[in-house]
């Protein structure tokens, strides 16, 4: 799952089909994996929303507490050897390195990728990574 999916719940935005399906899977006890950068991206989304006055500090803190309780498994960060793979995905699919990491984790762990990012989803399909 990438940060775009969880951000919609945490910011109380209208939920996409993907976000609803991930929530349903979590409630059913299905495992959900995120790369280590997901934690930073979620925190950044919440702090940025507060700075833009979309949410207040109470909402931010409640959302951060909610994140701590989510049944997600945070994968180990990539090491230096993974830089080559990340660079390849970023160049081949015109992805940010961050999105390349979501793709790498999903492909290496043989996971279904949940995202609301069209470019990332298209790259996953080209790499034969199942998408939600």
Q: How confident is the model at residue 9 (pLDDT cuts 50, 70, 90)?
A: confident
- Closest residue by Cα to residue 96 from 115, 72, 69, 110: 115
Number of domains in the chain: 1
Q: How confident is the model at residue 5 (pLDDT cuts 50, 70, 90)?
A: very high
In which domain, by residue range, is 81 found?
1-132
Burial 87-111 (b: 16+ CB within 10 A, else e): eebbeebebeebbbbbbbbbbeeeb
Q: What is the pLDDT of residues 84-112, one digit of tens each?
A: 999 999 999 999 999 999 999 999 999 99
Distance CA 117, CA 37 (A): 16
Q: How confident is the model at residue 16 (pLDDT cuts 50, 70, 90)?
A: confident
Distance CA 132, CA 116 (A): 10
How high is the pLDDT of residue 12?
A: 84
Flag whether pLDDT at 13 surpasses 90: no
How high is the pLDDT of residue 53?
A: 95
Residues belonging to the chain? 132
Q: What is the mean pLDDT of the chain?
A: 94
Instruction: Please compute the mean of the pLDDT values over residues 20-46 and round it to a whole number.
Output: 93
- Residue 89 sits in a domain whose CATH number is 3.40.50.1010
- Check residues 14 and 80 and name the one with the higher pLDDT: 80
Flag whether pLDDT at 76 surpasses 80: yes
| CA torsion through residues 91, 116, 64, 56, sign | positive
The residue written with tokens 């799952």 in the block is: 1
């Amino acid at each position: 799952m990438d940060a775009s999916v969880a951000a919609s719940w945490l910011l109380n935005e209208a939920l996409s089909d993907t976000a609803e399906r991930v929530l349903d899977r979590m409630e059913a006890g299905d495992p959900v994996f995120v790369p280590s950068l997901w934690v930073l991206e979620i925190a950044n989304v919440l702090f940025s929303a507060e700075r833009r006055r979309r949410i207040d500090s109470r909402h931010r803190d409640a959302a951060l507490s909610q994140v701590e309780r989510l049944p997600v498994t945070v994968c180990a960060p990539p090491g230096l050897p993974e830089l080559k793979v990340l660079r390849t995905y970023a160049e081949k699919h015109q992805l940010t390195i961050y999105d390349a990491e979501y793709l790498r984790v999903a492909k290496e762990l043989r996971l279904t990728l949940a995202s609301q990012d069209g470019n990332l989803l298209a790259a996953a399909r080209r790499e034969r990574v199942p998408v939600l």
